[in-house]
Structure 1
């Protein structure tokens, strides 16, 4: 549900509590096709990324100031609602004006990195620029950026650089989120015309000069990120409607957004070549544009129904929104742990969305949730990190993964997190005769009974300092 309130001073607050936000017009579904990379450095980086399993995506920009659903209020589509007393041009003027109010004096990227580290996360994706075009890095291509407003005199004004450095200190793989569409650029939304929807608002076929300027602008900004911000591991490109027309297929049409008659091609081969010259082995995630520049797939706010052998990542919010909104409702740590187990057992990684507040800090409620998730991973992560999926990945509430040394893991999700079951059984994956199962969190070994098609065992009583226990992980040789 999207709720709008009119505040004093004609501020519109768009809060976003639906989870998942299916049918809202801004969800990127998973591509149905995949093409494995051929570059040896990219393949090596991809396998290293597949070992990490758990990451954080941080949406932070102008939209944090009023606490609204990212950039989407700027877009005139049926699912977007704005205060009827304000004109559309008035709304855009008000929104663009947030650049003069965004002054996050308590910005603390080390707090973010430490909170993510405590959660057991191992890679970062940070929004260097969302669809509104406001840059969270010191680009030389526009003044619509964090380093040209009231925060410019702060020693950490170049936000993206500070975030990347803070997470590197905690040994994270670094990903730069970058929006291909740019609604603030006159080369994408030409002021001569109205801005009807998310697409560029002029016919590229009759205005090739203008589109070529946008292509140059985009390539130059990505070049800056690849050159001036030390090692970047992932270029995470959002805005899948900006793509060659020939790649539009039924899954893209199913989004429900308008599809122009012209091609919004930004020349990804040239961008990728340039980016990888500067960052060898760079993973490129051109979301939903299947082909050589979608090195892993990104189902949004959902987990695929079945196991998949190709690389993928579920990007799911901790609360109901990607960025900060007041009074957001956060998933429990147990829910996130259960999601992580299911995603990993199906062969994917979980990218959890957290939105810092307008002052530059992550709220206490989010930090506490992240700590609780990390408390579980500290003693159970062996069954998550560095594992791969197996063909028989699930039986009821028990999921299975395999370590690189051949060790099998049974990850048992508890529906009642305050009282773990004493008897557990599953079909398939019988341990070798004469071996015992080990409880990863305690090192205790358990006897088990062979059944006609699986295993039965008794779990020891579980006492957890947090008062809940979302899942147990057992290891064994098959």
Structure 2
């Protein structure tokens, strides 16, 4: 080969090399906290507040504007936070979050900056600290603790959508707003500094931003809890709401997103809230930021109910096991992290009916996923899975190495049947976990293969598994 053609060939190779590397370098990948959160797959959030102890049903609109007349109604005589955590662990949860403040404004911990906290109670002579009990119980039982803070609404301090009531921009309103913002920032610092490492911090409805007059919480979290998943404000979202509170997301559900923030509800930018929040539900396969989806639902969300807080005589709203598994497949099985809402009652316990259903859920997840017929892993466009003999299969799982980002764009799963490869399933997003359950017809085959039909870089599949699940 002449030196002229050799230089040309070398030039082409270098162009290809730099093109591929540029593509790889631009591919969004999760940070450390996002990766841990997606790998956890399933967590719970415990909602507890003063109104659990009154005799009226929870009404969000009322609770946001009406201070609780007597905070000493808070009196959980059998409080056992460890029982809460054990119940969550039995369901298979890997992390747990406690709602430390919600719309009443009352704080379930010992605060030096918020006078409306556990220090004012007769219960335990004002020395109780439920968040301390909670984080201790989580660590004792191998559950990662997190916190939920409601700062957008506060009926005690008269705060609506982060803004303190009063004549806008009057001296009095400005002073009260400054006091509220400083108090919230102080609470966030207390939470971040006094309770050890936290897995996730969840601001109810987001935390807005100081540019809009709201408390400035992001720098505090980043300084004192740098490894904590931040969810979320107008500046940053380490994760995104999946667009509904029924525990499911659409398919495909990409972890990538065109923005590194999401806003909240009607405050979201048009690109996010249009078409019924479609972007939140599906993500964007070409998005330049890694913002994975959360699918959340209360355990008591059946029979047209939606109970984030305990209500008496409401056991019929507990999801049946079959419905819970459907939620699992349409969240965890679609590359989302599932967070289930649990409701401690006015005695301080998770009700026995809820405990029983959580145990059933954990057992069923193990039954369906702990015993694959065969598994494999590999890189490249085709990955073959061999079984020892021709076998009935009705469930398939694929997992991508998400530390490297979404590399797969389209794939098909094929079974070798009657002397040729037959396509039994097709998809696009894999991400942390993709699950296919065939409810109508079993797949009879001795070998399967995963064919990557389209990718943006070399596919890295860390798990390709086949199962047979008895659905009777």
TM-score range, shorter chain: 0.5 to 0.7
Query: 1:451 — aligned with what?
Result: none
What does 1:386-425 correspond to in 2, within 5 Å? 387-388=399-400, 391=410, 410-412=435-437, 414=439, 423-424=441-442
TM-score where L is the length of structure 2: 0.64
Query: 2:179 — aligned with what?
Result: 213
SS at match of 1:367: helix
For each residue in 1:274-311, what CA deviation from the matched residue of structure 2 results, as whole angstroms up to 9, or x when unmatched? Answer: 2222222121102xx45424544353414332322220
User: In structure 2, do the counterparts of structure 1 residues 162 and 399 end up closer, same or farther at CA, with 3 Å as the change threshold?
Assistant: farther
Q: Which structure dedicates a bigger proportion of its chain to strand? A: 2
Contact kept in structure 1, 2:46 and 2:344, CA below 8 Å:
yes
What does 1:185-200 correspond to in 2, within 5 Å? 185-186=156-157, 188-189=158-159, 200=164
Counterpart-to-counterpart distance in 2, 1:62 and 1:413: 45
- Of 449, 452, 461, which residue of structure 2 is paired with 1:431? 449
User: In structure 2, do the counterparts of structure 1 residues 237 and 209 end up closer, same or farther at CA, with 3 Å as the change threshold?
Assistant: same
- Of 214, 222, 243, which residue of structure 2 is paired with 1:265? 214
- Of 245, 249, 257, which residue of structure 2 is paired with 1:301? 245
Contact kept in structure 2, 1:112 and 1:361, CA below 8 Å:
yes
User: In structure 2, do the counterparts of structure 1 residues 279 and 68 end up closer, same or farther at CA, with 3 Å as the change threshold?
Assistant: same
Deviation at 1:393, TM superposition (A): 9.4
Structure 2 unaligned spans of 5+:
1-25, 256-291, 301-305, 373-395, 401-405, 414-422, 452-463
Contact kept in structure 2, 1:307 and 1:345, CA below 8 Å:
no
Deviation at 1:54, TM superposition (A): 0.8
User: In structure 2, do the counterparts of structure 1 residues 178 and 392 end up closer, same or farther at CA, with 3 Å as the change threshold?
Assistant: farther
Q: Which has the higher contact order (CA 8 A, sep 6+)?
A: 1
Task: Give RMSD over aligned pairs.
Answer: 3.9
User: In structure 2, do the counterparts of structure 1 residues 65 and 377 end up closer, same or farther at CA, with 3 Å as the change threshold?
Assistant: same
TM-score where L is the length of structure 1: 0.63
Q: Which structure dedicates a bigger proportion of its chain to helix? A: 2
User: In structure 2, do the counterparts of structure 1 residues 403 and 208 end up closer, same or farther at CA, with 3 Å as the change threshold?
Assistant: closer
Counterpart-to-counterpart distance in 1, 2:412 and 2:213: 40
Deviation at 1:160, TM superposition (A): 0.9
Counterpart-to-counterpart distance in 2, 1:244 and 1:150: 36
1:323 equivalent in alignment to 2:309: yes
Greater Rg, structure 1 or structure 2? 2
Counterpart-to-counterpart distance in 1, 2:337 and 2:324: 12
Counterpart-to-counterpart distance in 2, 1:181 and 1:209: 18
User: In structure 2, do the counterparts of structure 1 residues 70 and 115 end up closer, same or farther at CA, with 3 Å as the change threshold?
Assistant: farther
Query: 2:358 — aligned with what?
Result: 370
Structure 1 unaligned spans of 5+:
1-35, 77-91, 190-194, 247-262, 415-420, 442-461, 463-468, 471-478
Deviation at 1:70, TM superposition (A): 6.4
Query: 2:341 — aligned with what?
Result: 353
Number of matched residues? Answer: 346
